[in-house]
Amino acid sequence: MEPTTARRPLDGIRVLDVSTVIAAPLAAMILGDLGAEVVKIEHPRDGDPARHHGYAKDGVPLWWLMLGRNKKSVTLYLGDPEGQELFRGLAATADVIVENFRPGTMEAWGLGYEVLAADNPGLVFARVSGFGRTGPLFREPGFGTMGETMSGFAFRNGDPAGEPYLPPFGLADGVTGIATALGVLSALYERRDSGRGQQVDLSIIEPLLTILEPQLVTRDQLGVTLGRTGNQAEMNAPRGMYRTKDEAWVALSASTASTAGNVVRLMGAPGLADEPWFAHANQRRAHAADLDAVIVPWFAARTAGTAVAECRAAGVPVAPVHTAEDILADPQYAAIGAIGSYEHSQLGTVRMPDALFRLSRTPAGVRWLGPELGAHTEEVLDLDPERLARLRERGVL
């Protein structure tokens, strides 16, 4: 394996993160993990609302430690003319801006793409919004819940006989954040040849459409609306959650004929693999009840640990249903380096998901955790003390 270096993939790239909870700040976090200098622009009074979301320990907001990691916090009120002047100065030095105000807000402040790109033609301007920048809803406020409902996810999530279910976390925001980071990287790559930046426009209602399998083309071509299937898959079997003897749950998913054959052989019904329908995914799905008639009692007669061990020995794809406690203790996560341990001045060692990508030569990583509000204002703005004090007194910083 080639040796790693001190260089990171986005060394030398400066990002202005002018966004708040959740999607756009997550995109900026990913860029920071990859080595970009991320300057987080926050309101002088309260900062990013993520600082006040969720749990805290000893007054330290825990979620912010992750979402704000690798970011320099600068307080700056963009509704003030002097704040706008200072931001334009920062934008002239930036490679990327990430923002998620309602469409038109940055333009109203004189900080739209056309204005900033006139001074900095190579600027990549990533714009995340609820519904995009055109259409009947573009001025409406939008949160991840809108993405989870309008994409069809909630309609398809839950028990077939029950109500649609929303996820208990920011699913649409998370997918949008990752997608936004990808869009920024694409624009930076293209800039190497053209020398020009561009806008990256993404709404929260879009990215889930990409991962919701063929629901749109199925409706368009067959008139079929895919619905809720509980823990079963729409197009394959066996797949589901199974309760074990010790009241735990194990997930099983065998999406190929060979792995499905491993299931029925392990569970004492090898003859099912000889049925004409068994070789085809859609036909196995039609016989999911026949498969579950074998699978359910097999799991019910074993503890989760025993069932998982026997399945893995037989080539059956399974996984226990983890809690956060289980994840922190899981040797597989530890082996691949998915969980990082970092030091915090007040809390000591803090564990959290590590950088998303493992690059062999120029690894991504976490250099520091989410900072206190305004911790880097003086460093980044580099103002003379008199002006600094005046702007703080006026509430601009």
Instruction: Please write the tens of the pLDDT for every residue from 103-149.
Output: 999 999 999 999 999 999 999 999 999 999 999 999 888 899 999 99
The overall average pLDDT reported for the chain is: 96
From residue 99, how far is each of 21, 61, 246, 395 by CA, in Å? 11, 22, 49, 21
For helices 23-33 and 171-194, the axis angle rounded to 10 degrees is 50
Check if the beta carbon of residue 144 is closer than 8 Å to that of residue 172. Answer: yes
What pLDDT, on the 0 to 100 scale, is given for residue 88? Answer: 98
Residues contacting residue 250 through CB under 8 Å, at least 6 positions apart: 241, 242, 244, 299, 304, 307, 308, 311, 318, 319, 320, 321
Q: What is the pTM of this model?
A: 0.95
Q: Residue 261 above 90 pLDDT? A: yes
Radius of gyration of the chain (CA): 25
Kindly state the average pLDDT of the residues 204-221.
Answer: 94
Q: Could you tell me the fold of the domain covering 239-327?
A: formyl-coa transferase, domain 3 (3.30.1540)
Residues with active-site annotation: 173
With CA atoms as reference, report the closest residue to 321 among 338, 305, 335: 305
Q: Residue 277 above 70 pLDDT? A: yes
Q: Residue 155 above 70 pLDDT? A: yes
Could you tell me where in the chain the CATH 3.30.1540.10 domains are found?
239-327
Please list, residue by residue across 345-371, b when 16 or more beta carbons sit within 10 angstroms of its beta carbon and e when fewer do.
eeeeebeeebbeeeeeeebbbbebbbb
Residue with the larger pLDDT of the pair 6 and 153: 153
First to last CA, the chain: 48
What pLDDT, on the 0 to 100 scale, is given for residue 376? Answer: 98
Check if the beta carbon of residue 260 is closer than 8 Å to that of residue 244. Answer: no
pLDDT tens digits, 24-48: 999 999 999 999 999 999 999 999 9
Please list, residue by residue across 217-244, b when 16 or more beta carbons sit within 10 angstroms of its beta carbon and e when fewer do.
eeeeeeeeebebbeebbbbbbbbbebeb
Q: Residue 18 above 70 pLDDT? A: yes
Whether domain 14-210+358-394 has CATH 3.40.50.10540: the reply is yes
Could you tell me where in the chain the CATH 3.40.50.10540 domains are found?
14-210+358-394
